């Protein structure tokens, strides 16, 4: 008896498929079957040809297909400040240059346009989801939706006024209103985003914690980024920031701790015991001379780790292939062990680790039946990538974002043959130049 052929939206055949789940698996000559934006099958190509008829059939004979990358920490709109004030320590960079520029220029239009620019850059580099923290979150959300990328929109909170809000109560009220307006958008999720322990009071942290528990949102904040941050906390509060957060009850599986560069053994243990996640941002940490996060020790304790680019103002690229390579190499140097963090582990950080931190791992982060078809294809047909003995090794140590050929978000193609679909690159470059002329000192 002949098995009936099922009509589906998309079948992608690839030379290699790296599903991320199960761990360290590489499938050869397999196919991913997509219908209504979701993965419905993962099977050998010959079986796919027998069982499915596709409206769109993509053959990627010299490619690796992997889950879309998850950028666990960025300030997308700050792409308009790329290169504005380089080669400075963090606090000088913030206080003397970035914050004054933001005070002069940040508006709904700035955030919308800067986020559009960032979304285009991220999609071109295989990033299908980003976790944002910035002012005017509605403008960022609208830009993400227009770009067709998945986004976790941070509802920022700080104690000082800005062009967006007057005080912490105003920040939270406006942020929650945005969440209520956009709650039904399938490509959007939300995080509470208190900026850092040095910019948020205990009263306002308490409000954030209550809200996080009531509406079940992650809490996304900068933590233990610099030695100065730690010293200032000890002088002001008598304890280091992680201990302060611990006493306030903020350490939990909901916490996404960004940077965590300077940790002692007790602090690593606290993060592990409370199920916290870490957003590791190696390029930004190096550029601002903040240090190197101890991800080998964090990983050994079972802490969930994702990768972040930070902003284009402090990186200056929104490029997770660069972050994967740096994360692996720095872990080897810091630990003195070449096998400290292997290529598969780093790829997990860039995909499922980020998804898990955001509470999205049931939907994205791996190529698994039932999950959204957020996918990235990398072409290995390049002299710089030949020969290829191990595709996952290449993804970590050899591939660049220029090798990304196709990107799908929820089954919809966003990059095809290396070119953005439905995004006007020339128009975005002109828009960036207009902002450059406004911002230029």
Residue with tokens 């920040």: 171
Confidence class for position 210, pLDDT limits 50, 70, 90: very high
Q: Do 100 and 14 share a structural domain?
A: no
Same domain assignment for residues 157 and 212: yes
Same domain, residue pair 13 and 115 = no
Number of domains the chain is built from? 2
Q: Is residue 433 part of a domain?
A: no
Q: Establish if 294 belongs to a structural domain.
A: yes
The encoded tokens of residue 131 equal: 């976790």
Calculate mean pLDDT across residues 228-233: 96
Residue pLDDT, tens place only, 384-427: 999 999 999 999 999 999 999 999 999 999 999 999 999 999 99
Is 182's pLDDT higher than 50? yes
Other Cβ atoms closer than 10 A to 100: 13
State both tokens at 289: 């001379």
272 & 173 share domain: yes
Whether residues 87 and 47 share a domain: the answer is no
- Residue 4 — very low, low, confident or very high, per pLDDT cuts 50/70/90? low
Q: What is the model's pLDDT at position 3?
A: 65
- CATH assignment at residue 231: 3.20.20.140
In a domain, 440, yes or no: no
Q: CA-based diameter of the chain, in Å? A: 78
pLDDT at 105 over 90: yes
Judgement on whether residues 285 and 321 belong to the same structural domain of the protein: yes
Instruction: Report the relative pairing of strands 6-17 and 27-35 from DSSP bridges.
Output: antiparallel
Instruction: Please say whether the beta carbons of 64 and 378 come within 8 A.
Output: yes
Average pLDDT in the 48-67 region? 97
User: Does residue 1 register a pLDDT over 50?
Assistant: no
Domain of residue 29, CATH code: 2.30.40.10
pLDDT in tens, 366-390: 999 999 999 999 999 999 999 999 9
| Residue range(s) defining the domain that contains residue 374 | 6-67+367-410
* Same domain? 120 vs 192: yes
Are residue 148 and residue 292 in the same domain, yes or no?
Answer: yes
At 137, list the tokens.
């979150």
138 and 15 together in one domain: no
* 412-416, strands of its sheet edge to edge: 38-44, 27-35, 6-17, 52-67, 375-379, 404-409, 412-416, 419-420
In a domain, 248, yes or no: yes
* HSE value, Cβ hemisphere, 13 Å, CA-based, for 251: 18
pLDDT in tens, 297-343: 999 999 999 999 999 999 999 999 999 999 999 999 999 999 999 99
Lowest mean pLDDT segment, chosen from 17-26, 91-100, 388-397: 91-100
Of 357, 389, 421, the position where a domain reaches its end is 357
Q: Is the pTM of this model over 0.95?
A: yes
Mean pLDDT score, 87-116 = 91
> Is 170 in the same domain as 222?
yes
15 and 95 housed in the same domain:
no
């Amino acid at each position: 008896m002949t098995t009936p052929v099922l009509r589906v939206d998309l079948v992608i055949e690839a030379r290699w498929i790296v599903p991320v789940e199960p761990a360290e698996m590489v499938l050869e000559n397999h196919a991913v079957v997509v219908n209504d934006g979701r993965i419905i099958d993962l099977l050998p190509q010959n079986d796919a040809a027998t069982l499915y008829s596709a409206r769109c059939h993509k053959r990627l004979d010299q490619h690796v297909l992997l889950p879309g990358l998850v950028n666990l920490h960025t300030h997308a709109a700050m792409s308009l400040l790329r290169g504005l004030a380089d080669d400075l320590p963090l606090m000088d960079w913030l206080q003397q240059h970035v914050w004054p520029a933001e005070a002069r220029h940040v508006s709904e239009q700035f955030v919308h346009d800067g986020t559009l620019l960032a979304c285009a850059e991220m999609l071109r580099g295989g990033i299908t989801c980003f976790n944002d923290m910035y002012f005017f979150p509605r403008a960022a959300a609208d830009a993400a939706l227009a770009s067709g990328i998945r986004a976790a929109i941070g509802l920022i909170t700080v104690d000082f006024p800005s062009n967006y809000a007057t005080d912490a109560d105003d920040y939270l009220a406006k942020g929650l209103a945005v969440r209520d307006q956009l709650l039904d958008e399938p490509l959007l999720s939300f995080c509470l985003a208190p900026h850092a322990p040095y910019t948020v009071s205990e009263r306002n942290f308490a409000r954030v914690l209550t809200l996080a528990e009531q509406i079940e949102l992650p809490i996304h904040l900068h933590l233990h980024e610099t030695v100065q941050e730690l010293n200032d906390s000890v002088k002001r509060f008598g304890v280091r920031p992680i201990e302060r957060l611990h006493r306030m009850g903020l350490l939990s599986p909901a916490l996404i701790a960004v940077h965590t560069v300077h940790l002692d053994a007790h602090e690593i243990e606290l993060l592990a015991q409370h199920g916290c996640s870490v957003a590791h941002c190696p390029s930004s940490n190096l550029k601002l001379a903040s240090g190197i996060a101890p991800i080998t020790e964090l990983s050994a304790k079972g802490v969930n780790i994702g990768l972040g680019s930070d902003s284009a103002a402090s990186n200056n690229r929104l490029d997770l292939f660069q972050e994967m390579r740096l994360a692996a190499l720095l872990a080897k140097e810091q630990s003195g062990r070449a096998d400290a963090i292997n290529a598969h582990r780093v790829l997990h950080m860039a995909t499922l680790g980020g998804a898990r931190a955001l509470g999205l791992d049931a939907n994205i982060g791996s190529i698994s039946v039932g999950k959204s078809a957020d996918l990235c294809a990398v072409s290995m047909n390049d002299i710089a990538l030949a020969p290829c003995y191990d595709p996952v090794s290449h993804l970590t140590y050899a591939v660049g974002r220029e090798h990304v050929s196709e990107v799908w978000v929820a089954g919809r193609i966003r990059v095809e043959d290396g070119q953005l679909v439905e995004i006007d690159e020339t128009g975005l470059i002109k828009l960036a130049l207009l902002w450059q002329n406004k911002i230029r000192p």
